[in-house]
Amino acid sequence: MRLAPLCLALLFALVSCPWNAPAAGPAAPAAAGGAATPAGQRITQDTLQGFWLGSQEGRDVVVNFSAFFITVSSSARYDKGIFQVKDGSLFLRPDLGKAKSLPVAMEGGELVLDGLRLKRLLTAEEVSSALAPDVAAMVHTFAARDHALHFCNVKPSPEEKKLVQDYLDADPKRRCLYIVQRQALDSVCVYDPAGWCRDQGIRSGLGAR
C-alpha cells in the first residue's frame, strides 16, 4: 500500500497511547530553508520532528511529526496517528491487527515516506511567528470551528468547507498553524459533550461520548 494518493485512513485508525521510543540523538536543525538531514544519516524520532511539505495531485500536503504523533493535513483531510521509527522504517499500529511498516529515507535533502516526497518546512516553535496576526487569528477561528463540528458530529456545509480549504491551501504555513491549533483543541477533555456543543451554538443529536 502507498501513502500517495494520501489515503491515510489506514494510518490514522490508531491507538491512543504512544509506544516507548528507542533512544535517539539530538534533533537535526529544522528551520525553514535551513539544513536538512543529510542523505544516509540515520533517521530517528527526533530528526523527523517538525513540519514537512509535500504535494499530491497539485495540492499541498503538510505533515507534522510531534513526539510520537504524525498529523497530516491536505485539503479536506485532517488525520493524526501514532508512529515509531526503527531500522529505516516507520511503524504504524492500527486498532486491530499487526503494526504496519512504511519505508522512510532521506534522498537529496528530502524525506521520502512510502513514495511521498517531503521538504523540511518549519519547526513547531516557528509556526506562531510565521504569519501576520490577522491571518493567524483567522486560522485559529477556522481550527476552532472545525474542531467543534467534528467533536459534535456535524458536517460543515460544502460552501464552508471550500472556504476553509481554499484559505489554508493559499499558504502551507497557514496549514501548519491549523495543525498546531487542532492538536491543542483535540487534547482538551470535555465532560459534558452535549452541553459543550450547545454552548458552541451547534445543534446535534450528540449524547454521551
pLDDT band at residue 3 using 50, 70 and 90 as cut-offs? very low
| pTM recorded for the entire structure | 0.64
21-31: average pLDDT: 35
Closest of 54, 82, 53 to residue 69, by C-alpha: 82
In this prediction, residue 40 carries a pLDDT of: 55
Q: Express each pLDDT in 177-195 by its tens digit.
A: 888 888 888 878 888 888 8
Write out the E strands in 69-185.
69-74, 77-86, 89-92, 100-107, 110-113, 116-120
Summarize pLDDT for 111-164 with one digit per residue, the tens.
998 888 999 888 767 887 888 999 999 999 999 998 898 888 888 888 998 999
Q: What is the pLDDT, as a whole number, of residue 66?
A: 85
Q: Quick one: pLDDT at residue 76?
A: 59
pLDDT value of residue 205: 55
Q: State how far the Cα of 85 lies from the Cα of 12, in Å rounded to an integer.
A: 16
How far, in Å, CA of 164 to CA of 57, rounded?
Answer: 19
Residue 34 has pLDDT above 60, yes or no: no
Per-residue pLDDT at 141: 93
Give tens-digit pLDDT for 37-86. 455 567 888 888 888 988 877 778 888 898 888 888 887 577 778 888 88
DSSP 37-84: PPTTSPP-HHHH-EEEEEEETTEEEEEEEETTEEEEEETTEEEEEEEE
